[in-house]
Each structure stands twice: as structure tokens, then as C-alpha cells.
């Protein structure tokens, strides 16, 4: 085998091996392995096309944008019979064992600043159950209801893979069984300096970081997860992020709309709360394809435009909840079709590196370019994309930041509001303020009920043993 050092030198990236000869054998091997995983022509193409010659802005294209169509909730004018049909179709698919849950958990979670994989963050109000546990309990609840042990695929990255797997082992896979939880690591991309030179994080280590949540599609293929799904009769993948404990991991109506629409990729949308809200927006481009336009790329005049009824015209916000057709992921993830390739995006970041003299440098302003793929960029390649409306309070309260919006505090309060709503719907006495926040903190576990309907049904069957809502109450099922 030709040593990758030669290729790096030929590509003008010889600096990666600058300290190689001084390294002991084990770090030399490690660096060689890391270097073998780098696609040098991809790195050079991305630097050339995204950094050196980024091309004109997309203002002209923005002129062609229209709002994407979506299926409204019944309470906002959607056809209730169609929602019912979708629900039943989704339930049938779940019962038939056609669906896998899929969590992308390879991110670095820098904004939250939590020490550990984000999925291990204690998120629920009373039990302080970690995010992974909440999803596991929801998947377990669905498995019990539909009589099929649903598999769960979790994408990690080298940064958190071992810690994540250890966490599941230590917690007995939260009752799911190791044969049902499948971990795989996503791809990595090197950070480059202004000149496109690959940076070294240490003398024997390339500055690599995960290739974005869009990297999940090729990682599903490269890891063999897609083949495994095929062998197990799974054709539908329910995709969600690790940071959102409200998400309905396996939502029958959503899965049903996806299947009824013969869609390759379906998405949930929620009405943006205000024009500046930092979520991408579902739009239809000039070629008639649905796309997600990032909030930073959305021209202000479009972001603030209103319909006659005063609603934002471009209001369908993307919340990173999707259903994928397995063969679509296989097609896109394999990367064989030059007309269906996820683009990379650049991000200017602070990246610690070692300089020419081997001295570690901690930059205090962005010094490097990182390249990432975004999963929503798959949308324009999908046949029959389906977008359905969801309600924020039922599906979305992510933990992104240590404080302020989308923080542990807002997420805790949104969970409490959901529990209070369910309790009220079941006729239990709960006091709440005008935002719906209850005066006492309590928690309903997914093992007891994972939807409002289920909660109401269980409570109404409980006679005199109904749960009492007091501070720190945990409404749980001892035998979920």
C-alpha cells in the first residue's frame, strides 16, 4: 500500500506529516489511519468552491421562492378523516415491524457546554432522566403497544462513541436489550486554515470533526446499518435529534402520511413563532422542488412577509424531524448518483491547532473552516416529499444552549406544561399560570403514557387509584 504521506505531499498537505518522523510508532500508526480516512480531493474542492470562490449570493434565487405546501393539523383546517387514515396506516406499519427509530447524536454540543455526550444530559423535571432514557422509554412504549420490538439506531461520532455505548451498557440499555440498539459512528472532516491547509490538533492528530447531521445518510450506508434494516424487513426510518425530549419518536400519523404519500422523505413543520426565529423554513424553489432555507439565508423581506390574515407567509419552520424511505437513504448515502449528492456547508470556527514549530495555539477568533452536511438538504432529491404540520407543545423543545432560549430551563418548563395539559385532559386537578406552567412540578413517564390520549385512557381506567398531582410526583408504571 502506498503510504498516505505521499498523497498528502502531492496534494500540498505535507504539513500533516511534519512531525511524523519524531513520533513513536503507535501515534504514527494512528495518524496514518486518520490520514487514510481523509478524502483529499473533497477537501480541496470544498475549500476552492466554498471558501475561495463562494460564488454570488442567492438573493436572485430567493426571488423565486414560494412557501412549501404542508398538511395542516385538523384544528387548523386539515382534513380530520385524512389524519385518521394516516394514523391507522402508521399503526399498521408499526405493528408490521417496518419502522426503525433513528437518533443523530454525533454532534459536539458546544453551546450547551455539558461534559459528556448530549444524550446523557439529565433532562426531565423530577427524575432527571437523561435524554437517551426518555427516547428509550418512548420506543419501549411503542414496542409494547404494537407488539413488535422496534429497533433503535443511534449515530455517534468518534468524539462520543465509546462514552455513549458505555452509558447504555451501564444502564442496561434502559430495558431495550443490546440486540435492539445499534450504534455506529459518523464520518469526519478535517478543519482547514484560510489557505485550505489541513490543521493538526496535535503533532500526531488531525483536527477532525463530525461531518454534520447530513453525514448520517452516508454513515447509515457505510456502517452497514441500511443493509441490516433491509435484512430485518425495515423500510421506514423515523429520524430525530438527540436534543429534543418532546419528540414523538415513532409517530403513527406522521409515518402514515409518509407511506400514504409514497414519499421518500417526509418532514414535520411548525409555524414559526416570530420572523427571526432560528429555524430553517420549508420553501418551494424555482424548479418546483421543496427545500429548507436556513434562517441566515432567508432574505428579511421574505421572512417578515405576511398573508392577508396576518400570518407569516413563509412560516413552515423545520424542526429536524423526518421519516425516510430506506431505499432513498441507500441511494443518497451511497453517493453513486452525481445528481443526488448532499452539498457541504462551511462554518468559520475557532479550532485549536499546533503551529509549524509544534506549539499548541488556542485561537481567540475563528481561524479555521469546517465543512458539514445538513440532513434537510436531502429534501429536493426526494420523490413525493410530504410535509405535515405539528404543534410545538407536542413535538419540539430542544436543549441547545446553557441559558436563554432552548435551554434546560425552557425545556423543563415545556415538559411540565405538557404534563399539566395531559393531567387536565384526564380531569385531574392542576393549577397552572396563563402559559400553562403548573404550580407544582411533576412528571409523567413514557412508561405510564407517551401521549395525551394514552394518559387519559389509563387514568380513566384507574377508578379511585387515580394519580395525585403534588410537587415532585412521578406518575410511572411499575411494569411498563
| Strand 344-349 with 265-271, pairing | unpaired
Give how many residues touch ligand UTP by CB under 6 A: 20
243 binds ligand UTP (CB under 6 A): yes
Minimum Å distance from CB 68 to ligand UTP?
Answer: 21
**Nearest-CA neighbor of 447 among 477, 409, 474, 413?**
477
Task: Tell how far CA 201 is from the center of its chain.
Answer: 27
How far is Cα 272 from Cα 63, in angstroms, rounded to an integer?
Answer: 21
Per-residue x/- track, 112-151, ligand UTP (CB under 6 A): ------x---------------------------------
Contact with ligand UTP (CB under 6 A) among 107, 190, 438, 467: 107
Query: What minimum distance in Å lies between the beta carbon of 459 and ligand UTP?
Result: 33
Instruction: Give whichever of 102 and 282 is closer to ligand UTP, judged by the CB atom.
Output: 102
267 contacts ligand UTP (rule: CB under 6 A): no
368, 445, 476 from 347: Cα distances, Å: 8, 39, 44
Beta-strand relationship, 344-349 and 290-293: unpaired
Of the ranges 38-46, 104-112, 225-233, 359-367, which one interacts with ligand UTP (CB under 6 A)? 104-112
Look at the alpha carbons of 252, 255, 260, 266 in this order and tell me if their dihedral is positive or negative.
positive
Q: Which residue of 242, 281, 316, 426 would you call a contact of ligand UTP, by CB under 6 A?
A: 242
Let me know: does 201 contact 293? Beta carbons within 8 Å.
no
Beta-carbon contacts of 469 under 8 Å, excluding residues fewer than 6 positions away, are 423, 428, 429, 430, 438, 440, 442
How far CA 285 is from CA of 62, 276, 288, in Å, comes to 8, 21, 5
How would you label 367-402 residue by residue, b for 16+ Cβ within 10 Å and e otherwise?
Answer: bbbbbbbbbbbbbbbbeebbbbbbeeebbbbbbbee
Residue whose CB is nearest to ligand UTP in the complex, by number: 107
The distance of closest approach from Cβ of residue 37 to ligand UTP in the complex, given in angstroms and rounded to an integer, is: 15
Rounded distance between C-alpha atoms, residue 233 and residue 460, angstroms: 37
DSSP element (H, E) containing 328 = helix 326-334
Q: Quick one: 214 or 256, whose CB is closer to ligand UTP?
A: 214
Q: Considering only residues 140, 180, 213, 218, which one is a binding residue for ligand UTP as defined by CB under 6 A?
A: 213
Query: 185-204 mask for ligand UTP (x: CB under 6 A)?
Result: -x------------------
CB of 115 to ligand UTP, least distance (A): 14
Q: How far is the CB of 35 from ligand UTP (least distance, A)?
A: 20
Q: Quick one: 187 or 204, whose CB is closer to ligand UTP?
A: 187
- The answer to whether residues 407 and 414 touch, using CB atoms and an 8 Å cutoff, is no
* Residue 117 or 447 with smaller CB distance to ligand UTP: 117
CB of 107 to ligand UTP, least distance (A): 2
Q: Is 106 in the site for ligand UTP (CB under 6 A)?
A: yes
- Rounded to a whole number of angstroms, the minimum distance from the CB of residue 369 to ligand UTP is 15
Q: Does 241 bind ligand UTP (CB under 6 A)?
A: yes
Shortest Cβ 167–ligand UTP spacing (Å): 14
- The reply to whether 105 sits near ligand UTP by the rule CB under 6 A is yes
Q: Which listed residue (71, 101, 136, 155) binds ligand UTP by CB under 6 A? A: 155
Contact indicator for 101, 109 with CB cutoff of 8 Å: no
For ligand UTP, the closer of residues 144 and 401 by Cβ is: 401
Q: Which residue has the cell 453525514?
A: 215
Least separation in angstroms between CB 466 and ligand UTP: 37
Nearest to 213 by CA among 234, 173, 251, 240: 240
DSSP secondary structure, 227-242, as one string: HHHHHTT--EEEEEET
111 binds ligand UTP per the rule CB under 6 A:
yes
The stretch near ligand UTP (CB under 6 A) out of 130-138, 238-246, 335-343, 359-367 is 238-246
User: What's the CA gap between 352 and 370, in Å, rounded?
Assistant: 13
Strand, coil or helix: 336: coil
Enter the C-alpha cell of residue 385: 416529499
What does the block give as the cell for 153? Answer: 439506531
Site track 385-414 with ligand UTP (rule: CB under 6 A), x = hit: ---------------x--------------
Give yes or no for residue 326 binding ligand UTP (CB under 6 A).
Answer: no
Q: From CA 289, how far away is CA 384, in angstroms rounded?
A: 10
- Nearer Cβ to ligand UTP, position 35 or 159? 159
Binding stretches for ligand UTP (CB under 6 A): 104-111, 118, 155, 186, 210-213, 215, 241-243, 400
Amino acid at each position: 500500500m502506498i503510504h498516505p504521506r505521499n498523497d498528502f505531499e502531492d496534494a500540498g498537505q505535507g504539513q500533516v506529516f511534519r512531525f511524523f518522523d519524531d513520533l513513536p510508532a503507535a501515534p504514527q500508526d494512528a495518524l496514518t489511519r486518520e490520514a487514510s480516512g481523509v478524502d483529499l480531493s473533497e477537501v480541496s474542492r470544498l475549500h476552492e468552491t466554498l471558501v475561495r470562490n463562494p460564488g454570488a449570493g442567492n438573493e436572485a434565487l430567493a426571488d423565486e421562492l414560494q412557501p412549501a405546501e404542508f398538511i395542516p393539523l385538523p384544528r387548523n383546517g386539515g382534513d380530520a378523516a385524512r389524519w385518521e387514515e394516516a394514523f391507522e396506516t402508521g399503526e399498521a406499519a408499526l405493528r408490521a415491524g417496518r419502522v426503525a427509530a433513528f437518533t443523530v447524536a454525533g454532534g459536539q454540543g458546544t453551546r450547551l457546554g455539558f461534559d459528556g455526550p448530549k444524550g446523557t444530559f439529565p433532562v426531565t423535571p423530577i427524575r432527571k432522566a437523561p435524554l437517551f432514557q426518555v427516547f428509550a422509554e418512548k420506543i419501549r412504549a411503542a414496542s409494547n403497544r404494537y407488539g413488535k420490538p422496534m429497533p433503535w439506531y443511534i449515530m455517534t461520532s468518534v468524539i462520543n462513541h465509546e462514552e455513549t455505548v458505555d452509558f447504555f451498557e451501564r444502564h442496561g440499555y434502559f430495558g431495550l436489550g443490546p440486540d435492539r440498539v445499534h450504534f455506529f459512528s459518523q464520518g469526519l472532516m478535517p478543519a482547514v486554515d484560510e489557505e485550505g491547509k489541513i490543521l493538526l490538533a496535535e503533532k500526531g492528530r488531525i483536527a477532525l470533526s463530525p461531518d454534520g447531521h447530513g453525514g448520517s445518510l452516508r454513515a447509515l450506508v457505510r456502517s452497514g446499518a441500511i443493509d441490516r434494516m433491509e435484512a430485518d424487513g425495515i423500510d421506514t426510518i423515523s429520524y430525530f435529534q438527540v436534543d429534543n425530549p418532546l419528540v414523538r419518536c415513532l409517530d403513527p400519523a406522521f409515518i402514515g402520511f409518509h407511506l400514504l404519500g409514497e414519499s421518500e422523505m417526509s418532514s414535520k413543520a411548525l409555524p414559526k413563532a416570530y420572523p427571526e426565529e432560528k429555524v430553517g423554513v420549508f420553501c418551494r424553489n424555482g424548479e418546483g422542488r421543496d427545500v429548507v432555507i436556513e434562517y441566515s439565508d432567508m432574505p428579511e423581506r421574505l421572512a417578515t412577509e405576511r398573508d392577508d390574515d396576518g400570518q407569516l407567509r413563509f412560516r413552515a419552520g423545520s424542526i429536524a424531524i423526518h421519516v425516510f424511505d430506506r431505499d432513498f437513504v441507500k441511494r443518497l448515502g451511497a453517493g453513486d448518483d452525481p445528481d443526488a449528492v448532499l452539498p457541504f456547508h462551511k462554518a468559520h470556527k475557532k479550532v485549536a491547532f499546533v503551529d509549524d514549530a509544534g506549539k499548541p495555539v488556542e485561537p481567540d477568533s475563528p481561524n479555521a473552516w469546517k465543512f458539514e452536511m445538513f440532513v434537510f438538504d436531502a429534501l429536493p432529491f426526494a420523490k413525493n416529499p410530504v410535509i405535515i404540520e405539528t404543534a410545538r407543545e407536542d413535538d419540539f423543545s430542544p436543549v441547545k444552549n446553557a441559558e436563554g432560549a432552548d435551554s434546560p430551563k425552557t425545556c423543563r418548563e415545556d415538559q411540565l406544561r405538557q404534563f399539566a395539559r395531559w393531567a387536565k385532559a384526564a380531569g385531574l386537578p392542576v393549577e397552572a399560570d396563563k402559559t400553562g406552567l403548573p404550580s407544582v412540578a411533576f412528571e409523567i413517564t413514557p412508561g405510564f403514557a407517551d401521549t395525551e390520549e394514552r394518559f387519559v385512557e389509563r387514568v380513566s381506567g384507574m377508578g379511585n387509584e387515580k394519580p395525585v398531582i403534588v410537587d415532585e410526583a412521578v406518575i410511572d408504571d411499575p411494569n411498563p
